Amino acid sequence: MKQSKLISILLIALLLCSWGSVLLTNNSETTEEYDGHIRMAEEYMGRGLYQKAVKEYDAALAIKSSEEVWDAKLGAYQKRYEESTEIYSDYLGAAQSAVQQYDRNAGYLLTLAHLYLLNDEYTSAYKALHKAVESGMEDEKVEELLLEVQYAYEVQWKSYEEYLPYVNGFYAVSEAGAWTYVRADGSEADFGQLVFAGPVGDSGIRVVRDQEQSYLIDGENVLQGILKFNPTASGVYSEGLIALKDDTAYSYYNSLGDRQFGEYEVAGTFVDGVAAVQKDGAWFLIDKEGKEISSDRYEDIVLHADGSHLKNGIMIAKKDGVYQFYKDGKTVGGYSDVDIATDDNMIAVCKDGKWGYVDSDGKELIAPQFQEAKSFSNGLAAVSNGEQWGFIDAEGRLVIDYLFYGGDYFNEEGCCMVETGQETPWQIISFYV
């Protein structure tokens, strides 16, 4: 009995030894095979045989995956791509696989993003970079490229001699002497060519003029009223009234085109039954009957793109030589100049000759440093270095370089009017992502 036990133990020991020998042999053979593939790949690289090198790197990776071999493989793909761009899809697939296996490797991610950009796949590049940053990757080059991709833009080919600010979904634009309307993204609206086009107001009502007459139409192109004169400028229709200018002054009209009251140098849009106007050099507030409703007079009241004097309960006005924010019965500020208030609540203000940004409570958000500036709209703001205009983000980073002669406000579609030249200077830029 003892002898049979001893034999069993010896047999087991012999089997273990033989298995160990096989494992050692296999490991040795595997290592030798792996090293052989690496040597062949390196030799092929030296000879400029990059396709063959890729196959050897693939064979090595099938035995053991490592970042070093992936580095070499992607390097081979890059060399081959420089010879022929036809291998783009294979190169892209390799980069995608590298990122999938080593999702913390910034080099692989940058390679993948650059490959997407070579094919103008901005959205794919942005998604890959954004996902990495959101997951906690901290790499300066990745963050820089993410910012670059996020704000990469194209300039639309159409150009305009003049435009009216974006209001209620449309720009009014002048091209080759004729006016029409385009949407937020620059696409044409079916309004035809006009001699005059005013900004779009409530219910789409606006003043237009063809070769024969001026009239008011609504968003369904239904005729609302016919004017007895041809306006030289138009406000925004709101609360049943629209300010129109003849050769000398502004008056308010109803949708039928009947004059109600007026004779102002400047006339704003009605908001909650109140509008800001200028007469004899002084600014004040009126009601819908033209009656002055406050004893205060101002040197200026800032009107927004839609002609309103209020934005989120804030009025910006100049009194005693300085601009202040009037909000909830209180005043904030003391600025030499101010741009409009917007939903972003990052208002451009000028102090001591430089422009910076504050919120509606006067809290400084970006220190004064620009020669000129406009308020933030949809996350960006136009700023000037004194020669040209670019755009900054909410952190004050210049994300679109100083390349333009003028800049407007970004709309909700990520588009903006910029001045690009002299003869037909205004064009729309739009982001790829």
Q: Are 205 and 219 in contact (CB under 8 A)?
A: yes
Q: Are 88 and 78 in contact (CB under 8 A)?
A: no
Give the span between the Cα atoms of 180 and 191, in whole angstroms.
6
> What pLDDT is recorded for position 190?
75
The DSSP bridge partners found for residue 407 are 418
221/234: higher pLDDT: 234
Give the span between the Cα atoms of 235 and 392, in whole angstroms.
30
Mean pLDDT of the chain: 92
Q: Are 205 and 224 in contact (CB under 8 A)?
A: yes
Give the span between the Cα atoms of 245 and 238, in whole angstroms.
16
Torsion angle, alpha carbons of 191, 196, 199, 203, to 10 = -50
Give the span between the Cα atoms of 410 and 375, in whole angstroms.
10
Percent of the chain with pLDDT over 70: 94
Question: What is the CA angle 52-84-115, rounded to 5?
Answer: 100
Residue 409 has pLDDT above 90, yes or no: yes
Tell me the per-residue pLDDT of 357-382, one tens digit each, with 9 for 90 and over.
999 999 999 999 999 999 999 999 99
Give the span between the Cα atoms of 202 and 222, in whole angstroms.
14
For 28-154, CATH number? 1.25.40.10
- Helix/strand/coil percentages in the chain, nearest 5: 30, 35, 35
Tell me the per-residue pLDDT of 162-180, one tens digit each, with 9 for 90 and over.
999 999 999 999 998 899 9
